[in-house]
Chains A and B, each alone.
Chain A
Amino acid sequence: MTVQELPGAGASHRPTPPPAWRPRTDAAPLLPDPEPYRVLGTEAADRLDPALMRRCYAELVRGRRYNAQATALTKQGRLAVYPSTVGQEACEIAAAMVLEDQDWLFPSYRDTLAAVARGLDPVQALTLLRGDWHTGYDPREHRIAPLCTPLATQLPHAVGLAHAARLRGDDVVALAMVGDGGTSEGDFHEALNFAAVWQAPVVFLVQNNGFAISVPLAKQTAAPTLAHKAVGYGMPGRLVDGNDIAAVHEVLAEAVRRARAGGGPTLIEAVTYRMEAHTNADDATRYRGDAEVEAWKAHDPIELLERELTARGIIDEAGIQAARDEAEVMAAALREGMNADPVLDPMDLFAHVYAEQTDRLREQAAVLRSELEAEDQA
């Protein structure tokens, strides 16, 4: 039986609408703009706050230097792996800058720079990647969740934390970061849905850097933009030029303000580009061409800001040099910190599995202890 043959297919009457149905929310205000929002190089730049922009500039330069230093440390074998954020510094830094002290950052494994920009010691931020311990800092002290490796799984945590804070009457916003690939994971959807239903004070920042390892966005989603996904959950979606730090900062700050005021979550897609390979283990030439990379080079976040600030007389040669000097100090400290061999206690393997060690673990700890003693004597 075809659809045309179904009983009633030819009937001329139209079925009555279901009783009292109405959409829950007007979708139009939730929809993102068709083009990524930009500030630099547009009239909107007239409103720039010079002090804020000088700080952004210094952080960008420091962030670029941090990326370079971490990559160098990988080549020296000091870091097991480093997922670079060269080209994405504007997103990383703006994410950290828009948060107050009491707010929480939920980074993915790529977002060490955001953690560093939030004030975390760069050496502590890199313990996961150097293979020292999984998390090199106390998350509560810095209000930075552990760097999260299973994609998108940190997003529901951000929602739960923000929800808990609101239940307690605390003024806390959670900002959660995820890549374009991560938006395909179930946890992404569940987190957005929970956040919208609970009206939790959360901001989701998707860094669309073009690729999930080797897979381009077109093979990741059929949505018009990732920001459009917000509408289905009942939250606003915002599309922003991820290399324009003034724009990213503005859009993020607005979302944080709204969340803080009880306006609920926002999904932000920052369109950017991963200039380097996924990690040092990846060969980017297998899935993308030089022309594409070159085109994005011309849209570099530091150059975009430098051009604007120089043209407006907000920054001069001396200011640029000062930012570079500051970055060198950070790089030197990072080098020094990473060149000191971490002292690890193998017995720590059993220390933090449970609040109280089980008999089983005590037994296994005794095995290791005697192996270590035998090693010492040999």
Chain B
Amino acid sequence: MAQALTRAMRDAMAEDPTVHVMGEDVGTLGGVFRITDGLAKEFGEDRCTDTPLAEAGILGAAVGMAMYGLRPVVEMQFDAFAYPAFEQLISHVAKMRNRTRGAMPLPITIRVPYGGGIGGVEHHCDSSEAYYVATPGLHVVTPATVEDAYGLLRASIASDDPVVFLEPKRLYWSKADWSPEAPAAVPGIGKALVRRTGTSATLITYGPSLPLCLEAAEAAREEGWDLEVVDLRSLVPFDEETVVQSVRRTGRAVVVHEANGFGGPGAEIAARVTERCFHHLEAPVLRVTGFDIPYPPPMLEKHHLPGVDRILDTVARLQWEN
């Protein structure tokens, strides 16, 4: 996945001279995850810039650059280090189009490596998507596959609206039969995808939890469950139709994500599914999420993160018999 992301930025920079990559250590080092590897060398330090170490400054400067017609792609080094930039994000990035009644859109892509499962220490594993999805004016997308990493990042950079592009850290090293020579079609922002068809229940998920859900779906076959898996790919906009169609077919739904459950995206999705599918539902919409705790230390994270067993236990509860 890492290479697909790099390739997406490289192709975008080659095609469009207004695309600028900026952030901490993105130049010479190529980023701490090496996602910007080689970009400074190929396009020069003016196009791939090591900035001073200040997230509000980085995003704030990107706002000004976008005001002048550039397309900044900002790298936040880790999920929990993006918080200093929230003021800029919420007060300006998300609102500039609205404040200026359409006169000044900000085509900024904010790449945020997010989520746990990599044994990272404190402040390196937050699932911060709930903060972003609660902010009108931002698009929020997250790829779960190598193809989508490329396609969604291209779409994000091409978008005239700001996009928070959440990169599931633990999938950086995932591999696929994907050739950068023949990049997949750009999926466009706001389209979910049924990754696995099934008939007995729908797992609704995104980003780091997709592989888990696919694994759970395989395991569930032994229990006689034929699970459908929907990959949202985009949290804002939320592809309600794909989700609703699926749940109406299967009659049961579980939302799976590793962010905290209370006030998490799953709460919103469950509410929407309930509103739209009430008469089709055989059981309440259930959720499998991280616990409502600060991200735990690495040695305990496996207890916090949703795993296949927890998903299967929840699926079993869909046998609603009250």
Q: Which residues of A contact B (CB under 8 A)?
A: 133-135, 138-141, 145-146, 150, 153, 155-165, 167-168, 172, 174, 186-187, 189-191, 193-194, 197, 348, 351-355, 358-360
What's the nearest-Cβ distance from chain B to residue A366, in Å? 15
Q: Are B64 and A156 in contact, CB atoms less than 8 angstroms apart?
A: yes
- The DSSP consensus for interface residues of chain A is helix
- Does B67 lie at the interface of the complex (its beta carbon under 8 Å from any beta carbon of A)? yes
List 8 tightest A-B contacts by C-beta distance, closest first: A156-B60, A160-B64, A190-B57, A160-B61, A161-B64, A164-B68, A157-B64, A134-B99
What's the nearest-Cβ distance from chain A to residue B240, in Å? 6
Most B CB within 10 A of own CB, among A153, A160, A172: A160
Q: Which of B65, B97, B240, B241 makes the CB contact (< 8 A) with A163?
A: B65
Please judge, given known A-B contacts A187-B60, A360-B237, whether A145 and B67 are in contact too, CB under 8 Å.
Answer: yes
- Of B83-91, B147-155, B298-306, the one touching chain A: B83-91
Q: Which of B66, B97, B104 makes the CB contact (< 8 A) with A354?
A: B97
* CB closest chain-A residue, reference B54: A190
A295 and B96 CA atoms in complex are apart in Å by: 42
CB-CB under 8 A from A146, the residues of chain B are 96, 99-100, 104
Interface size on B, residues (CB 8 A): 48
Q: Are A186 and B52 in contact, CB atoms less than 8 angstroms apart?
A: no
A97 and B227 CA atoms in complex are apart in Å by: 68
Most A CB within 10 A of own CB, among B67, B84, B96, B238: B67
Q: Are A355 and B161 in contact, CB atoms less than 8 angstroms apart?
A: yes
Q: Are A161 and B67 in contact, CB atoms less than 8 angstroms apart?
A: yes
What's the nearest-Cβ distance from chain B to residue A322, in Å? 36
Q: Are B52 and A359 in contact, CB atoms less than 8 angstroms apart?
A: no
CB-CB under 8 A from B12, the residues of chain A are none
Q: Are A360 and B238 in contact, CB atoms less than 8 angstroms apart?
A: yes
CB-CB under 8 A from B72, the residues of chain A are 160
Q: Which of A135, A165, A174, A348 makes the CB contact (< 8 A) with B100?
A: A135
Q: Are B61 and A355 in contact, CB atoms less than 8 angstroms apart?
A: no
Q: Are A139 and B100 in contact, CB atoms less than 8 angstroms apart?
A: yes
CB-CB under 8 A from A135, the residues of chain B are 99-101, 103
A162 and B61 CA atoms in complex are apart in Å by: 9
- Does B69 lie at the interface of the complex (its beta carbon under 8 Å from any beta carbon of A)? yes
What's the nearest-Cβ distance from chain A to residue B96, in Å? 8
CB-CB under 8 A from A359, the residues of chain B are 237-238, 240-241
Q: Are B68 and A161 in contact, CB atoms less than 8 angstroms apart?
A: yes
Q: Are A351 and B56 in contact, CB atoms less than 8 angstroms apart?
A: no
Q: Are B56 and A159 in contact, CB atoms less than 8 angstroms apart?
A: no
CB-CB under 8 A from A140, the residues of chain B are 67, 103-104
